Chains A and B, each alone.
Chain A
Amino acid sequence: MTSVEEKNTFFRDLQDNEELMTEILGGSVDLVKRRITFHEHKNVQALCYYTDGLADVTHIEQFISDLLYKGNLLLQHATLPTDNPLTLLKEHMLSSASFQVIKEVGQAVDGILSGVAVLILDGSNDVFLIQTKGWEKRGVDEPQTEQVVRGPRDGFTESIRTNTALVRRRIRDPKLRIEQMTVGKRSKTDVNIAYIGDIVKEGLVEEVKKRINDINIDAILESGYIEELIEDAPRSPFTTVQSTERPDKVASSLLEGRVAIFVDNTPFVLVVPSFFWQFLQASDDYYSRWMTGSFFRAIRYLAFVLSLTLTSIYVMLVSFHQEMIPTQLILTIASGREVVPFPVLLEALLMETAFELMREAGLRMPKPVGQAVSIVGSLVIGQAAVQAGIVSPFMVIIVALTGIASFAIPNYAASFSIRLIRFPLLIAAGMLGLLGFSAMFALLAIHALTLRSFGESYLAPATPFQPKDQKDSIIRFPWWKMQARPMGVTGDEKRVGDNQFPEPPNTDPYSDEAGNRDEDNQKGRDQSKRKKSRHIIKLKGDDEE
């Protein structure tokens, strides 16, 4: 018999096919083989292979019972072996889209291992592929890492099809394309690429596909693998690929002309290209009223600045530039530091490390224990350290503020990047004062300026400065003002129609405008006319008074 590597197609003889499959699949307990006989008179043998746990057994049972019933009827008048039993079955039973006839062994094996049932009939080198995928999966739940006050509560799950469906539910546009890819020599992980055909940035889909196709790895267990293998700046502390658990975030990204990458077995979907400022934006910003959204966004920008620089600035000022601190404040700081035996830099590093330890311990431990660790940790480390004279009370406040600020950043990966770059900044500021701080900050800024995410500048729209895109940067402009999609979108560039500024209708029956109201409504809301009519109502009100 030919070896497995050489054999691409099935044999006609069932015995040979059985041996071939045994050789490939081995004797794993979860791989089920069922022998079926059609029409006992003509003794047509068949084998059904599927993976227990991945395939829906009820579906398979139903299929087999249908097959036995119809198969017996069909084969009663067939002349074997002249009539190919599979052709007969194919012609009469392929009413369902979940049946597929294939020839290749590899395809059949991949199918079995991904939850599909394979039926091999004696006397045919074609086989049936029956879509019977069905395994236990977690239900749609609230995202753990990106919670919102206002907005949808559904988050992605580990099932790729559920995830694409969650996005499809939000964008019922036929132009929303979802393309299938498989990555991982052994894992053969399903990867889907989603984009909206007529607004995606030119060349972006091809670039994403090329990068994913170039991946040569044995297994993809999470989207983090893909992220690390396709990103533009693999040596940078900044993350240039956005990952999210929120379907609404993915949907909004697609509507901005970006591409989403779904990976099976993970609730984290990747979005490219990504920009630094997006990591400071939360879904709530768009669902709350624009003033509220803008306010919270501004708070997050402040949190970013505090998280990155507060400890460094404190260390720099206290170590080198005491004259910059108001006298009363420096006296308070000095009295707190009187008993501390360490230099400020060491004190800050100790506290920052302790904070990171508490955060990591709280995260890894079971929930109730984790909470206890964080509370006990903060109490013990904070209070006891101050009482023992190891750190000053001011330092505890600074580190706590920095920590809280880092948690205000909505994206965990971005928050972690900022925490990471805080340390070189802190060390430089603590060792060289203003010079160290500014030099390190400049180096980080230059580094960030050099970064690109799938051809787009990472710091856009701040630099290169794009005036039109400023409507969704620090301030989230109201929807009736954000008419255009971000720069670079091809095709359907307009997102919001003209004259969307909402106003109550004209209620004055004597106004000329009232007669033309219907016409006006059809044409769109003309703001200038409304202002005029409002003026008329106001005048009328004055007369009545």
Chain B
Amino acid sequence: MKVQISNGMFFALIINMIYAKAIGVTQGSMAREIGGDIWISTLIATVQGTVIMSLVIFVIRRMPEGDLIDQSERLFGKWFGKFVALITFIFFLAAFGPIMSTFIFHLKDYFLPEAPILLFICAAFLIGTYAIFFGLEVIARMALIGVFSIIALNILLMLGTLPEFDIRELRPTFQMGFIKTVWASRHHNADWAMATIMAGIILPMVGDKKSWGKMGFAGIAYGMVFVIMWPILEAGVLSPETAAQYIVSCMQMARSAQIGYFVHRYEMIMVAFFALSMLTQIMMSLLCASVAMQKILGLKDYRKVIIPTALILSTFGYWINFNKNRAVDFLEGWWVYISVGVAVVLPMMILVLGFFFKKKLKKKIVAEEAK
């Protein structure tokens, strides 16, 4: 039987897929460009993310039984399908770099400075491959718990930082100008790109097709609610200048959080809550890359390619993160262009082609249903 996940799980996956990187690493990158307007940029990126997500949902709805790759295959045949699968694979390969950067920067820089990078790569490899072997449902269920841990993390952080919050740090708005603020939103768009391409792969496995749109928007809206607190607090508590000086600005804020006189230095508890979102990103990128690899090779089950795919992704993750400068350059440069490019062009291309070859697509769907 085909694996099915509930719409609630899909919603949880969207939130987890953006959260881990968006709250700290992305905010640091944006703060370096636009200072205190990071929260406005985050909001703008969410609007753009909503548009792209709607596009993906619209495209998949035309042929709900297949993902973006299947639809491409039905439009222009096997080789075009393989080409789109290759693009998807490259997307998740590139995504694995920043995902591993987020994982490594959080744990190595703040907890285990002497541990070799390979150790983190191995841990991610082990957990990721083990989880995706059991399929999407297990990851989705973990993501559901992840939503609760995100809520717990946000509450803990608010309790520890709100007394230090100074709204004056957020003023004036648009201090770097409107265009620059919109342009800085590309960093967060890269996070949304991961969620949208993931949706393009897993949507056919989401149970209730009628409420795809509703749940997609709910996921984006809640994701925005959970994320937006961070740039506001980072700017209002740390100050934009301080936030800009750290690659992982959220960790710096978590470290300085304090509840009353007695509860301080509880960042480890916060990292424990954060871990589920982080792991969901690792697992989902491995899963989607494996599915893409499976379709490139024309296999029936993605499980056969889990290990080789994970090895390729891990090697890339190691290479990127072995040099911290390279990791940050990739994170703020290449990755942004690859992710936004693929997330916009791929669904748009399938949408337009599908529009022109509507009859062909319909014929194929009818023929397959008749079979």
Find chain A residues with CB under 8 A from B145 CB: 445, 462-463
* Residue from A432, A450, A462 within 8 A of B119 (CB atoms): A432
CB distance from B260 to the nearest CB of A (A): 13
Contact yes or no, B111 A439, CB < 8 A: no
CB distance from B130 to the nearest CB of A (A): 6
- Please encode chain B, from 119 to 140, with 1 for each CB lying within 8 Å of some chain A CB and 0 for all others: 1100100110011001000100
* Residue from A321, A443, A462, A463 within 8 A of B126 (CB atoms): A443
Residues of chain B in range 258-312 having any CB-CB distance to chain A below 8 Å: 265, 267-268, 271-272, 275, 279
* Residue from A320, A326, A443, A457 within 8 A of B130 (CB atoms): A443
- Bound CA span A323–B113, Å: 13
Find chain B residues with CB under 8 A from A457 CB: 141
| Central interface residue in A436, A438, A447, by most chain B CB within 10 Å | A438
- Bound CA span A438–B8, Å: 25
B170 within 8 A of A: no
Contact yes or no, B119 A434, CB < 8 A: no
* Residue from A321, A324, A443, A463 within 8 A of B141 (CB atoms): A463
A442 within 8 A of B: yes
Find chain B residues with CB under 8 A from A447 CB: 130
B225 within 8 A of A: no
- Please encode chain A, from 248 to 273, with 1 for each CB lying within 8 Å of some chain B CB and 0 for all others: 00000000000000000000000000
B142 within 8 A of A: yes
- Bound CA span A443–B144, Å: 16
Contact yes or no, A464 B141, CB < 8 A: yes
Find chain A residues with CB under 8 A from B111 CB: 320-321, 433-435
A449 within 8 A of B: yes
Find chain B residues with CB under 8 A from A433 CB: 111-112, 115
Find chain A residues with CB under 8 A from B126 CB: 439, 443
A-B contact count (CB 8 A): 69
Contact yes or no, A434 B141, CB < 8 A: no
A446 within 8 A of B: yes
* Residue from A434, A435, A439, A446 within 8 A of B142 (CB atoms): A446
CB distance from B371 to the nearest CB of A (A): 30
- Bound CA span A321–B279, Å: 22
A313 (CB) vs chain B CBs: closest residue: B268
Find chain B residues with CB under 8 A from A445 CB: 142, 145
A465 within 8 A of B: yes
- Please encode chain A, from 230 to 250, with 1 for each CB lying within 8 Å of some chain B CB and 0 for all others: 000000000000000000000
Contact yes or no, A323 B107, CB < 8 A: no
Contact yes or no, A435 B115, CB < 8 A: yes
- Please encode chain B, from 6 to 18, with 1 for each CB lying within 8 Å of some chain A CB and 0 for all others: 1011000000000
Contact yes or no, B272 A435, CB < 8 A: no
- Bound CA span A459–B144, Å: 12
Contact yes or no, B120 A443, CB < 8 A: no
* Residue from B6, B112, B141, B279 within 8 A of A435 (CB atoms): B112
* Residue from B6, B107, B265 within 8 A of A434 (CB atoms): B107
Q: Is the interface of B mostly helix, strand, loop or mixed?
A: helix
* Residue from B144, B267, B272, B275 within 8 A of A463 (CB atoms): B144
Find chain A residues with CB under 8 A from B141 CB: 449, 457, 459, 463-464
Q: How many residues of A contact B (CB 8 A)?
A: 25
Contact yes or no, B138 A438, CB < 8 A: no
B131 (CB) vs chain A CBs: closest residue: A446
Find chain A residues with CB under 8 A from B271 CB: 434, 438
Contact yes or no, B112 A320, CB < 8 A: yes
| Central interface residue in A323, A324, A436, A463, by most chain B CB within 10 Å | A463
- Bound CA span A320–B108, Å: 12
Find chain B residues with CB under 8 A from A432 CB: 112, 115, 119, 123
Find chain B residues with CB under 8 A from A435 CB: 107, 111-112, 115, 119-120, 123
- Please encode chain A, from 312 to 324, with 1 for each CB lying within 8 Å of some chain B CB and 0 for all others: 0000000011011
- Bound CA span A434–B272, Å: 9
- Bound CA span A445–B107, Å: 20
Find chain B residues with CB under 8 A from A324 CB: 265, 267-268
- Bound CA span A439–B8, Å: 26
- Bound CA span A465–B279, Å: 20
CB distance from B317 to the nearest CB of A (A): 15
Find chain B residues with CB under 8 A from A443 CB: 126-127, 130
Contact yes or no, A439 B144, CB < 8 A: no
Contact yes or no, A450 B115, CB < 8 A: no
- Bound CA span A460–B370, Å: 38
Find chain B residues with CB under 8 A from A446 CB: 127, 130-131, 134, 138, 142
Find chain A residues with CB under 8 A from B8 CB: 465
Find chain A residues with CB under 8 A from B279 CB: 442
Residues of chain A in range 347-369 having any CB-CB distance to chain B below 8 Å: none
B120 (CB) vs chain A CBs: closest residue: A435
Residues of chain A in range 363-409 having any CB-CB distance to chain B below 8 Å: none
CB distance from B111 to the nearest CB of A (A): 5
Residues of chain A in range 434-484 having any CB-CB distance to chain B below 8 Å: 434-436, 438-439, 442-443, 445-447, 449-450, 457, 459, 462-465
CB distance from A71 to the nearest CB of B (A): 64
Contact yes or no, A439 B112, CB < 8 A: no
Find chain A residues with CB under 8 A from B134 CB: 446, 449-450
Contact yes or no, B138 A439, CB < 8 A: no
- Bound CA span A432–B107, Å: 11
CB distance from B275 to the nearest CB of A (A): 5
CB distance from B101 to the nearest CB of A (A): 16
CB distance from B103 to the nearest CB of A (A): 10
25 contacts between A and B (CB under 8 A): A320-B112, A321-B111, A323-B265, A326-B265, A432-B123, A435-B111, A435-B115, A438-B271, A438-B272, A439-B127, A442-B127, A443-B126, A445-B142, A445-B145, A446-B131, A449-B134, A450-B138, A457-B141, A459-B141, A462-B145, A463-B145, A464-B6, A464-B9, A464-B141, A465-B144
10 interchain residue pairs of minimum CB distance: A439-B123, A463-B141, A450-B134, A434-B111, A446-B131, A449-B138, A442-B127, A449-B141, A324-B268, A438-B275
**Residues of B near any A CB (own CB < 8 A):** 6, 8-9, 107, 111-112, 115, 119-120, 123, 126-127, 130-131, 134, 138, 141-142, 144-145, 265, 267-268, 271-272, 275, 279
**Residues of A near any B CB (own CB < 8 A):** 320-321, 323-324, 326, 432-436, 438-439, 442-443, 445-447, 449-450, 457, 459, 462-465
Supplied contacts A320-B112, A324-B268, A326-B265, 17 more A-B pairs, CB within 8 Å: A432-B115, A433-B111, A434-B112, A435-B112, A435-B115, A435-B123, A439-B126, A446-B127, A446-B138, A447-B130, A449-B138, A449-B141, A459-B141, A462-B145, A463-B142, A464-B144, A465-B8
